[in-house]
Amino acid sequence: MKRRNFIYNTGFGIGSLLVAGNSLFANSVPPGKPWSTVDVAEKKKMADIALNAARSKGATYTDVRIGRYLNQFVVTREDKVENVVNTESYGMGIRVIANGAWGFAATDNLTADGIAKATALAISIAKENARLLKEPVQLAPQKGYGDVSWKTPLEKNAFDVPVKEKADLLLNVNSEAMKGGANYITSLLFLVNEQKYFASTDGSYIDQDIHRIWPAFFITKIDAATGKFETRNSLSAPMGLGYEYMNARPQDKIHGVTTLYKNSYDILEDAKVSGKQAGDKMKSKSVEPGKYDLILDPSHLWLTIHESVGHPTELDRVLGYEANFAGTSFLTLDKWQSKKFNFGNKLINIQADRLQAGSLGAMGYDDEGVKCGQWDLIKDGILVNYQTIRDQAHILGLTASQGCCYADSWSDVQFQRMPNVSLQPGKEKKSVDDLIKGVEKGIYIIGDGSFSIDQQRYNFQFGGQLFYEIKNGKIVGMLKDVAYQSNTQEFWNSCAGIADESDYRLGGAFGDGKGQPAQSNAVSHGSATARFNGINVINTARKI
C-alpha cells in the first residue's frame, strides 16, 4: 500500500484492527460509564507497584505508562450508516534500564501480581539485551514534576454527543454532496481519547486526557458517457479539539475560490460544493507540463512539510535506525555540524512543537515525562536542529530531550515520533491575493492528494485536490491532472513569498506510520499559503 493511501485509510484500518484485537477492561473503569476516566489515585498505586518492583530487582531507571485508549468510528455511505464502532484498550507498559540496557513489557492484568510479573519480565529482557550492548544507554537528565496533569481544552466532548446526531450529520453531508452531483460518497467521524498516566523513578506522576477529532468525506463523480471519473475529498483537517470543531464560526472563514476555515469546519458547506467541483474538474483543461509558479494552500502544503521536513529531521532516521522500514535522511549530521547547510532560502523558518492549541500533537508531556516545548529546526533557511528523545540528546550535545517520545498504545514501547512541524508565516502583511498578483504563469493548489518521495526524503512528487490556473496575476479557470516534482532543497529555496499570520492554518494526519512493529502517530503541520517559483509540473493523465 502506498504511504499516502495508508494515511487516508487509517481511519478505517485502525478501527478494523482494534475491533479484531482484545477489548481490555479493568476494575478501575467505572461500570456503565464508557467515556469516563479512571481514578488517578488508583493509577498511582498501580504505577508504584511497578516502580518499586523494578527498583528491588536492580533497575537503574523505570517508567510506567498506564493507558486507556478510546476510539469511536461513525461511517456512512450515501443514504446508509455503514458502521458504528466503539473500541477500548486498557493496560500498562513498563520500561526499565538494567545493566545499562532497555527492557520493556506490557500487561492488561492490572492486579498487583500481574504488574509484578510484567515488571520482572521487563528486567529480564533488559539484562538479556545488555549482553549485546556496545555502550550503555545514556539518558538526558530529567527532573521529576511530582503530581501534575494536562487536558485538551474542550468546549464539548465529542464522545458525549449522541451517535444518532453524528450519523444524521453525516447522512446530511452525503445528501448535500449527491445533490451537488456526486455519484458516490463515504463520510466518517473518527474520535480519539487517550487517557494516559505516566510515572517514573525521576519522580513524575503525570495524568493526561487527550482528545482528537477527524471529520472527513470522499466523493466520486462519474461521467456516464465516457466512464471517466473524478474525486474530491473533504478539505477538513483532523484536530486536537472537541465537537466544537464541527460548529463553524464566521470569523474562521477564509474566502477564496472555495471556502476554508481556520480553527473550525463546516462539513455541510464543504459537501455542498464538492460534487460541483468534482464535475468542474471533469470538464476542466488538462494541464500542460512545464515550469509554473505554485501558490500552495495550507490544506495542501502540510503534507509537503510532513514528508520533506518532518521526516528528514527525525534524528533516528538520520542515524539509520529506521532504514529497514521507513528509510534514512539526506540531512546527515555533517550538514548540521557545518551550521551553514542551505535547506531553503531566508524566508524558510520551520519550528517543531507540541504546544499549538488545537493541534494533533498538543500535549503537556511526552511519553518519557518530558515537558513539551518548541524549538527551531530550520532558521532563516539553515538546518539548526533535529527531533530527539532522552537517549539521543547526548548525540547532539543537548542537555535535555526535546520531548519527541510517543507510543500509540500501552502495549507498545515508546520511541521517537514526530511532533508538530510547521512553516512560520511571513513577517510582512501579505494576503493570498497579494501572492497571486505577481504570478504570470502559475497554479493554485488546494487540498492534499497522492504523493511519492524517496527513501532519503529528497526527490518527490505531490498532487492535490483542486487546481486553478493563474495567468497574469488572476485565476482564469480550473485545471486537472496536476502534480509537481522537485527535490527538498530546490523546492524550499524556490519560496518567493509566504502569507501572514491571518492565513495560518493547521493540516495533519491521524495515521503517520513508523516502526517495526508499526505504530501510528497523529501530527499537525501549520503554515500560511506560500508561493514557490519555477516548479516542474507534470500531467498525470493516463495515456491509453
Q: Each residue of 453-469: pLDDT tens digit?
A: 999 999 999 999 999 99
CB 280 within 8 A of CB 478: yes
> How confident is the model over 31-82, as pLDDT tens digits?
556 667 889 999 999 999 999 999 999 999 999 999 999 999 999 999 999 9
For residues 269-282, one letter each, b for 16 or more C-beta atoms within 10 angstroms of the residue's C-beta and e for the rest, the string is bbbbbbbbbbbbbb
For residue 275, give the nearest of 298, 258, 250, 252 by alpha carbon. Answer: 258
DSSP states of 444-479: EEES---EEE-TTS-EEEE--SEEEEEETTEEEEEE
Q: Is the dihedral of CA 143, 211, 311, 495 positive or negative?
A: negative
Question: What is the per-residue pLDDT for 504?
Answer: 97
For residue 398, give the nearest of 203, 204, 139, 95 by alpha carbon. Answer: 139
Write out 171-190 in H/E/C secondary structure. Answer: HHHHHHHHHCCCCEEEEEEE
Question: What is the per-residue pLDDT for 13?
Answer: 41
> How confident is the model over 165-196, as pLDDT tens digits?
999 999 999 999 999 999 999 999 999 999 99
The residues spanned by each domain of the chain are: 3-246+259-283, 286-539
CB 423 within 8 A of CB 305: yes
Angle between helices 163-179 and 267-283 (to 10 degrees): 30
The DSSP output letter for 36 is P
Q: Which three cell numbers stand for residue 345?
A: 532560502
Integer Cα distance of 487 and 510 in angstroms: 26
CB 26 within 8 A of CB 89: no
**pTM > 0.95: yes or no:** no
- Whether 29 has a pLDDT exceeding 70, the answer reads no
- Whether 23 has a pLDDT exceeding 50, the answer reads no
CA 284 to chain CA mean position, Å: 32
The rounded mean pLDDT for the chain is: 93
Question: Cis omega before residue 425 (within 30°)?
Answer: no
CB 129 within 8 A of CB 102: yes
What are the φ/ψ torsions at residue 390 (nearest 5 degrees)? -65, -40
Better pLDDT: 529 or 259: 529
**H/E element holding 148?**
strand 146-151
Question: What is the per-residue pLDDT for 543?
Answer: 66
Question: What is the per-residue pLDDT for 9?
Answer: 40
Fold (topology level) of 3-246+259-283: PmbA/TldD fold (3.30.2290)
- Whether 356 has a pLDDT exceeding 50, the answer reads yes
For residue 85, give the nearest of 1, 16, 29 by alpha carbon. Answer: 16
**H/E element holding 84?**
strand 80-98
Integer Cα distance of 78 and 218 in angstroms: 11
Integer Cα distance of 32 and 36 in angstroms: 9
Question: What is the per-residue pLDDT for 255?
Answer: 81
> How confident is the model over 72-81, as pLDDT tens digits?
999 999 999 9
CA 203 to chain CA mean position, Å: 30
> How confident is the model over 339-349, as pLDDT tens digits?
999 999 999 99
Question: What is the per-residue pLDDT for 33?
Answer: 60
CB atoms within 10 A of CB 107: 22
Question: What is the per-residue pLDDT for 37?
Answer: 81
What are the φ/ψ torsions at residue 276 (nearest 5 degrees)? -65, -45
What are the φ/ψ torsions at residue 435 (nearest 5 degrees)? -65, -40
